[in-house]
Homo-oligomer: A and B are copies of this chain.
């Protein structure tokens, strides 16, 4: 149950509600509920049965696969106003959740029970569009990942990752282990590649920190 003051805040974060008609908004207020999830908390584990879908108001969730050896690979992240479409998928096809989702940055979310979610998909155009859009985006990103891991070399992928991250935060705070989990590789491999990049003067590395100092060098690696 969502009251009017909450609704205001939620509306600001969820563009989809602004496009909704009054009927959907009323339904929303009735069944949705508010939740805070602290960083480090797992939202779903592989094989979980899903009974509600979360729309994120703030924070970031990482969705990843984990192998038997403990190696991880990130499938995608979602944040503001987005939702974990895998949840939706699991709900609609009555399957269990096929990956792990963890909160990276403290998240606030609106939860909608599976049953209502399913009804809304049938009843409201806006809602259906929203789900479609997400499903479609995720299929695209996951296919892109298949392409990456099947065909691109690790040094190229690492170079790409460093370039992308460096545009957000340059001496970036990240451990080798975290990078490995991002790429589906192992810490040792990432360490060796970073050492190589460092010797070539592409980056400067410190404990829990990487700084890109030659973007062009990395760029040419990422194209190789």
Contact = CB atoms under 8 A, between A and B. Distances in A.
Given A73-B150, A128-B128, A151-B68, A139 B145 contact: no
Contacts of A136: 89, 92-93, 135
B71 A143 contact: no
A96 to B, nearest CB: 11
A94 to B, nearest CB: 10
A3 interface: no
Contacts of A92: 132, 136
Nearest to A184: B150
Interface residues of A, number: 38
A133 interface: yes
Interface string A99-111: 1000000000000
B142 A146 contact: yes
B146 A139 contact: no
Contact of A133 (B93, B137, B147, B152): B93
Interface in A115-132: 121-122, 125, 128, 132
B151 A65 contact: yes
B95 A140 contact: yes
A43 interface: no
Contact of A89 (B125, B140, B145, B184): B140
B65 A146 contact: yes
A217 interface: no
A49 interface: no
A168 to B, nearest CB: 25
